[in-house]
Structure 1
Amino acid sequence: MADPMIAARVDAAVAAWLEWLPRWTPGSFRSRARICRRCYQSPILASAGLSHDVPHQVQHALVVRLQKIIDKTVDEFTTASLPGLRLELDAADALKQKAGYRPNDGLDPEYDGLELDPEPEPGQPFLFTLEGLASPLDKQINDPRPPLTDDQKAELRSEMALADECAVVTGQRVCGAVKIHAPRIRLAVETFVEPQIQSMLDELTNSLEFPS
C-alpha cells in the first residue's frame, strides 16, 4: 500500500540525486577493493533501474539517500512506540560521543560508507590517513547504567523485532515509490553519465591503437 509520507520523502531524495548527478565525473570515482554491502544486490537499485552497468558512486549516492528514509522512519517509529529500544539507542549514542573522532560521520550521501582513503601506492606512504586519525573502536567507555534484567532483555528483543519489521515494510514502500521515478533516473544516467564513460572508452581505445 502506498504511503504518502514515504512517497514524498522519496520524491525529495530522487530530486536531490538528480541535482547532484550532473556534477559527477569519472575523476571523482575511486575503485573499491571490497564489495559495497549497501549496493550489492540492492532491491532499491533494482527498483530504480540502476542495477547494471552504472558506476558505483552513482548507484551509491542514490542508495544512501533512500536508505536514510528507511532509517528515519524506523527512528520515528522507535521514538513513538518502542521506549526501551529508544532508551538503549540514546545511551549508545551518548557513549559514542565520548569515544572520540569518527571521520566517517556526517559525510555527504555520495561518500557515506565508502573508503575514506585511497589505496596506497608502493613506496609512497601517507603522512597520515583519515582512518588512522579515527579513535579506536575498542576504546573502553564505561557505561554507568546497571545491567539489564532478564525481563528487560526480553522486552528489548521484542522491540528490536518490531523495529526490524518496520524497516522491512518501509523498505518495500521505498522500493515501490522509487519505481515511479525509474524512467527519469535512467534518462539522467543516459544524459550525464554514459557520455562520460563512452568518452573514456574511446580515449582508451585510441591509446591502444598501434600507428600504421
Structure 2
Amino acid sequence: MSIDPTAVSTNLDITDPLLRVAHWNALAVIDSGWQLRKLRYSHSTGVAALDVHTPTHRGLTITSANPIVPTCCTNTPLVVRLAQQVATLGQRGGDLLGDLTWLLSEHTTAPRYPALRRDSIPDKTLLRQPLALRHAFWLLTTVVGEHGWRIHHLGEDIAGGGFVADIPNDVLAVFPASMPPDGTAAAHLARMLPTLAPSALNYLRHINTTALTRTHTPRAS
C-alpha cells in the first residue's frame, strides 16, 4: 500500500491505540528531519517497508523484518518501531493501515527525481556546455554544496560507474550507476554519469569542491 500524495487530510477520529501511537511516531520522525516517501505492506510476507530519506539526504528502505538503519540520525529507533507498527496494522487488516495512510497524506510525497537545472555553468573557460553536463553539474553542486558530501571516484569502475560519497556524520557509501531511483539528487547523479561524454565526466572529476560549494545557489523560482 502506498501513500497518495494528492489525498486531502481529514479530522479522522483516532480511537485505535496502535493507530494513534503510529501516527504520533510518524510525525515525530518527520519533525526530526526524516522524509517519509512511501509506506508499503506485503500481505504475502507480513513485512512492512518504509521508503525514507534520512536527515543526511540518503534514500533508504527500512523494513519491519531485520531492519538495517543508519546510526547517524536522530530518532532512528523510532523509524524502526514505526515500520514494525505499520506491519502490525497491516496484519490486523481492516482499514487501520488505510487510516494511517490518510492521516499522513499531507506529510509524504511519492519518490521522484528532483527538478533538473539547465542553466549555464558559471565557468568562462568552458566553451561547450551540453545539456547533460549542465544537469550533472547542478546535481553535483547540490550533493557537495548543499549536502556537504565529499565525492570520490566519480564515474569509475570501483564505484560501479557512479561515485563514492563520504557523508559527514554518517557513512562512506557507494552510489552505483545501477542503483534504483529513490528521489534523491545523489541517485539521479549516479544514474546519469554513464550517459556523459568522457570530456564531460573528466570536467566534473576535476572541479574544485570549494568552487562547487560557492557556486551552489537555489534555482530561481
Same fold, judged at TM 0.5 (above) = no
What interval of TM-score do these two structures reach, taking the shorter chain for normalisation?
A: under 0.3
In the superposition, the TM-score normalised over structure 1's length comes to: 0.26
- The structure whose residues are more often helix, as a share, is 1
Q: Which has the larger radius of gyration?
A: 1
More RCO (CA 8 Å, sep 6+): 1
